[in-house]
Amino acid sequence: MSNELQNIKNRFGIIGNFPALNRALEKSIQVAPTDISVLVIGESGVGKEFIPKIIHSESRRKHQPYIVVNCGAIPEGTIDSELFGHEKGAFTGATATRKGYFEVADGGTIFLDEVGELPLQTQVRLLRVLESGEFMKVGSSQVQKTNVRIVAATNVNMMKAIHDGRFREDLYYRLNTVQIDMPPLRERKGDIHLLFRKFAIDFAEKYRMPELELESSAVHYIENYSFPGNVRQLRNLVEQMTVVERNRNVTAEKLAEYIPMETHLPMVVNTQNTPKQSDFGSEREIMYKILFDMRNDINDLKSLTSELIKNRGAGDLSSHEKNLINRIYTPESQPQVNSGSLLYFENNNEVPAVQTPTIISNSDDRYEDFEDIEVEENRPESLSLQNNEKDLIIKALEKHKGRRNRAADELGISQRTLYRKIKQYNLED
């Protein structure tokens, strides 16, 4: 191992001698003096954040700003403002002009973590920065220049994201001038015990407690565990055991209490390979059930009234028929029978899909030949999920006077999802 590589490991506290890890670090050192873009690929928790730090520290930009941006943690409606800045009055709440990260980091390095989560509109802006160094603030028509080195990282299967239309192919190849792959911990079996000892020493010093030590059976156990959370999971395991366990000698049986071998999580190479569940998943199921139940009740009411017209006219209703009508109408609008030959139901605004029906007795000869009479509808039944979803968002925003954070809490969704829905339904005004 070269002295330069060992110095990098010592400086950044990187433990391990796995060949793929060494290769990733060596590539970082090699590309650091240049300004080409780098894409770091690896599972969550493998330590991808060390690569951009190494690149920046070994580059000519090391005395300039280094900014880390978690693209997955910034709401979609504000990420353009965070990255590129905005002018005063560009949107609600923009009370002053603000510099974005690309303006602040001019001459330095920006690390775009979870770059696969960027919205498509932001990807277009980022591509322009990569190609020409130009960008515009939100709400401005003035083109600005920046000289920024971009290092990006993702745990997403990028080719699948491109195929699914979630990531631009031209941006992918522009970012991926050099690709650095970080190996998962399960492939670094020889490094797992070394990492355990390093974390045990660190946490023993931090909490002023004796250091944990693994027995031989525990070493074998931990080296054969898959660690779906990678180095982050191992670190959290050691910290937890340092604080909780009184016995400093850790056995395989004790490890099994924290990470049971038979119930460990399946390997997830790319967390975005499967489609995301919609934030409105549970709400959608509830709304569908309500709407279908409402439609069934309306159809039952139509069948009942039609049957009355054909067979009995304005006769008294049976107990079953009264129960059906009571289920559809509120107590304030129970069916009323006039003294004449007409059976009349009062209109109820809470059943929007049904017009006030008037059933005419079959004593009138003009209606004897009718095979079927359906209740006319005042307006079509609104079974559109989008319409109901849009109405819920509008009501929540009105209730909280436009405060989107409170509206999101009211709806039970994240602010990022609310911003996306507001944009989707053109509710930004």
- Domains of the chain (ranges; CATH) run 3-183 (3.40.50.300), 205-263 (1.10.8.60), 282-367 (no CATH), 384-424 (1.10.10)
Q: Which of 57, 56, 81, 83 is nearest to 69 (CA)?
A: 83
User: Each residue of 143-177: pLDDT tens digit?
Assistant: 999 999 999 999 999 999 999 999 999 999 999 99
Could you give the CA distance from residue 98 to residue 120 in angstroms, rounded to a whole number?
23
Q: Which of 391, 400, 397 is nearest to 291 (CA)?
A: 391
Top pLDDT among 332 and 14 is at 14
What one-letter code names the amino acid at 320? H
**Predicted pLDDT of residue 98:** 94
User: Each residue of 29-71: pLDDT tens digit?
Assistant: 999 999 999 999 999 999 999 999 999 999 999 999 999 999 9
What one-letter code names the amino acid at 322? K
| Band (312; pLDDT cuts 50, 70, 90) | low
**Predicted pLDDT of residue 423:** 82
Top pLDDT among 72 and 360 is at 72
Q: Which of 323, 317, 308 is nearest to 358 (CA)?
A: 308
Residues in Cβ contact with 214 at an 8 Å cutoff, skipping those fewer than 6 apart: 193, 196, 222, 250
**Predicted pLDDT of residue 170:** 96
β pairing state of 336-337 and 342-344 = antiparallel
Helix (H) or strand (E) holding 99: none
- pTM summary value: 0.61
Question: Residue range 7-17: average pLDDT?
Answer: 94
Q: How much is the mean pLDDT over the chain? A: 81
Tokens representing 28 are 């970082």
